[in-house]
Structure 1
Amino acid sequence: MAAYGLYTHIASNKTRSMLLLAGLFLLIYVMVFAGALIGEVVVNSNGSVAYYINAATRDLIKALPFATIGAVLWIVIAYFGHQKMIDSITGSESVTRQEQPRLYNLLENLCISRGIPMPKLKVMDSDALNAFATGLNPRQYSVTVTTGLLRALNDDEMEAVLGHELTHIRNGDVQLMVVAVIIAGVVGFAAELFFRIFINSGFRFGGSPSRSSSSSDNNKGSGGGAVIVIIIAVALIALAWALSLVVRFALSRSRELLADAGSVELTKNPDAMISALRKIENRGELPGATSAVMEMCIDNPREGFADLFATHPSVDSRVAALVKFAGGHDPGRMALPSDTDAAEVSNGTETPPLPPRSGPWSNGKSLAGSAQEPLRGPWSRHA
């Protein structure tokens, strides 16, 4: 069914996401099957390919309940402990209205305007410009922003970022991404474990069979099948690991665009969302954060070859979507004000004059144009 409008796109995306998540769960069984193939070769290295596949299939059927229980147990553990793990990795701490009145009031006003339960508010001490939402139920929901973001954005831009994160919570993105990261983590952990064991054990083919004599007789002269089966198992493990990454990327990429649109729907201010994205662009790398944490952030910067594995659409494509569908205005890539100016901005909504360009976009002029040109578009001063 075709999607028309924001809410039908959200509903359609949820359906696709659940299918992707189911596929991600199936990858666990692929890993179990690959492990069964390797196990059968270890037990009997003189079997044929057909023998190993049949034996591994029987092993998989027997192991299905245990694999399912193990995966569910892992999800339950993460359900109760994932927030503590994220907080320990990022160093984020909860703040109150008295500690962060500006930030708290912006978030509270957005929640009141839409009847959304107020999530916990956390601040991470980092110069990086980023924010993310986490939680698997209303008691756990939280929105975390960095101190660098607080200094760099004015009130309108900060409100847009908070609206983006609230949309992730409203759309159920945070629950889905946490579960996806957990399941993909199981696949990745198992893949790494298999490869480490395979490399460090000095696995050799051609060992004598340890099965019964009847099994050996049935597979006599088929020792070469072990090599083929090991290759198949390694290929399955690598494929499962790669597909788990692809599913995570597919889930995250589509949701960022919808969260941008949801922020505009909450704030009615597309220019604020665009300017926030331009300021955050390529400045969001959190020191020491894992890839799982970065996937939940508003921006996950990647450059060069790493961009092939980006979990987020590029800022250019996100801005282009907001310009096309929300009527916003794109000022282009931006240089940030100094920390002193940014701190002054944090107390009001006015954007200070931007410094000259620096870096690869330098042309000797300020970002707003030459000194003689008036500021235009969303950056213009109101009389």
Structure 2
Amino acid sequence: MAAYGLYTHIASNKTRSMLLLAGLFLLIYVVVFAGALVMEVWSNSRGTLPYYLNAAFRDLLRVMPLATIAAIGWIIISYFGHQKMIDVITGSTSVTRKEQPRLYNLLENLCISRGIPMPKLKIIEDDALNAFATGLNQKQYSVTVTTGLLRSLDDDEMEAVLGHELTHIRNGDVQLMVIAGIIAGVVGLFAELLFRTFANGRYRSASRSSSQSSSSDGKGSGAVPAIIIAVVLLIVAWALSQMIRLALSRTREFMADAGAVELTKNPDAMISALRKIENRGELPGATSAVMEMCVDNPRSGFADIFATHPSVDARVAALIKFAGGHDPGPLALPGEVEEEAPALPEGEAAKTGPLSDAVPPGGAPIPGPWGKHA
């Protein structure tokens, strides 16, 4: 039943992701419709609002095949070139067993244990603590880790992180995140082009002429409302594309953590790895799209609304609740000064702390979906 619940959750997550991905594609048509509204105002500044809306809809139907072909063409280009772009952005390089025997053997053992094809292994020379998986098919899959992560994590923790990334590959998260980023990028590009067009002043002249004509003969009152609708549609399309990307990323991190525990049977290693990575994963040269694929993304928005990852606290709490792990709390790395926790009154230590709600009075951890763990 435990495996059934886990895999049912994964299947449900994939279904929701595909629906969200379809929604991203539809946003391209919204942007095209907004552009058609603007063009109609330019071509005839004396129309009414219903005239502009109907004309823009007819334009959308005519342009839709071309917009679809253009979007698919961009996806195809990204399909073959995205890995090279990521390598250039992050400075990652492929490594062999001879160059990184410890890392290579850990990844290979995990793959062999579950019959998972071995992805390529890449290294980023950086002190940051992070890792990510990329690729759109079996030949492209790769797992990339930083040298800072290799130095700071022990074998069990590194194995947990590699299991996390392998789960992203196994669950189809990598493909969906790459494609979602591609389509969201197309939406953003179209929106930016139209906003730049607005900024060059042509829409202002159209609005002025519309205002003058409407004041003289009572006609042409639809240009300004049409422009306002176009701007609102662009803003909504861009905002929704970003929100969908966030939803795709945030839901998958919990599942990847769970998959890592399923692979390694060691929830404590996943928890301690997250605690060490916490707030130490910033890759200075990486784009937002790359950071969204990492184990942890410290670039969070206000009130955590626009954060691409759940907080480490939330992920650790889930591992404690469902996998019976133990939380050591924030961890200091060698060379860092660890803040001393305030002393607790005698008898209070057992009543507080991250495990107070997760461990029963007997002291044994609550069994998770993968069984008990010592």
Report the TM-score, using the length of structure 2 for normalisation.
0.87
Whether the 8 Å CA contact 2:300–2:308 is kept in 1: the answer is no
Deviation at 1:308, TM superposition (A): 2.3
Q: Supply the AA of the counterpart residue of 1:310.
A: A
Q: Supply the AA of the counterpart residue of 1:76.
A: I
**Residue 299 of structure 1: aligned partner:** 296
Determine the C-alpha separation between the residues in 2 that align with 1:277 and 1:136: 26
Q: From the superposition, tell whether residues 279 and 208 of structure 1 become closer, same or farther in structure 2 (CA, over 3 Å).
A: closer
Determine the C-alpha separation between the residues in 2 that align with 1:143 and 1:76: 22
After superposition, residues 157-196 of structure 1 pair within 5 angstroms as 157-196=157-196
Query: Identity, % of aligned pairs?
Result: 76
Whether the 8 Å CA contact 2:157–2:270 is kept in 1: the answer is yes
Deviations, residues 7-35 of structure 1 (Å, cap 9, x unaligned): 00000001111000000100000000000
**Residue 5 of structure 2: aligned partner:** 5
Deviation at 1:259, TM superposition (A): 0.3
Whether the 8 Å CA contact 2:45–2:209 is kept in 1: the answer is yes
**Residue 357 of structure 1: aligned partner:** 338
SS in structure 2 at match of 1:122: strand
SS in structure 1 at match of 2:333: coil
SS in structure 1 at match of 2:122: strand
Whether the 8 Å CA contact 2:108–2:118 is kept in 1: the answer is yes
**Residue 369 of structure 1: aligned partner:** none
Q: Supply the AA of the counterpart residue of 2:250.
A: R
Deviation at 1:60, TM superposition (A): 0.2
Deviation at 1:221, TM superposition (A): 2.8
Q: Supply the AA of the counterpart residue of 1:246.
A: M
**Residue 220 of structure 2: aligned partner:** 223
List runs of 5+ in structure 2 lacking aligned partners.
344-354, 356-374
Q: CA RMSD in A?
A: 2.0
- Tell me if 1:275 matches 2:272: yes
Deviations, residues 272-293 of structure 1 (Å, cap 9, x unaligned): 0000000000111101110100
Q: Supply the AA of the counterpart residue of 1:357.
A: E
Whether the 8 Å CA contact 1:356–1:364 is kept in 2: the answer is no
SS in structure 1 at match of 2:263: helix
Whether the 8 Å CA contact 1:46–1:221 is kept in 2: the answer is no
**Residue 306 of structure 2: aligned partner:** 309
Aligned match for 2:283, one of 282, 286, 289:
286
Q: Supply the AA of the counterpart residue of 2:208.
A: G
Determine the C-alpha separation between the residues in 1 that align with 2:120 and 2:132: 12
Whether the 8 Å CA contact 1:45–1:207 is kept in 2: the answer is yes
Aligned match for 2:208, one of 185, 190, 206:
206
Q: Supply the AA of the counterpart residue of 1:293.
A: V
Determine the C-alpha separation between the residues in 1 that align with 2:221 and 2:260: 60
SS in structure 1 at match of 2:145: strand
Determine the C-alpha separation between the residues in 2 that align with 1:304 and 1:192: 22
How many residue pairs match? The answer is 337
After superposition, residues 113-152 of structure 1 pair within 5 angstroms as 113-152=113-152
- Tell me if 1:327 matches 2:324: yes
Deviations, residues 118-168 of structure 1 (Å, cap 9, x unaligned): 000000011110000000000000000001100110000000000000000
Determine the C-alpha separation between the residues in 1 that align with 2:287 and 2:254: 22
- Tell me if 1:101 matches 2:82: no
List runs of 5+ in structure 1 lacking aligned partners.
210-215, 339-354, 366-376, 378-383
Deviations, residues 98-117 of structure 1 (Å, cap 9, x unaligned): 00000000000000000000
Deviation at 1:4, TM superposition (A): 6.0
- Tell me if 1:246 matches 2:243: yes
Determine the C-alpha separation between the residues in 2 that align with 1:4 and 1:49: 54
- Tell me if 1:234 matches 2:215: no
Q: Supply the AA of the counterpart residue of 1:206.
A: R
Determine the C-alpha separation between the residues in 2 that align with 1:99 and 1:27: 45
Q: From the superposition, tell whether residues 304 and 19 of structure 1 become closer, same or farther in structure 2 (CA, over 3 Å).
A: closer
Determine the C-alpha separation between the residues in 1 that align with 2:25 and 2:301: 31
Aligned match for 2:261, one of 264, 267, 289:
264
Determine the C-alpha separation between the residues in 2 that align with 1:245 and 1:225: 31
Determine the C-alpha separation between the residues in 1 that align with 2:65 and 2:264: 48
**Residue 90 of structure 2: aligned partner:** 90
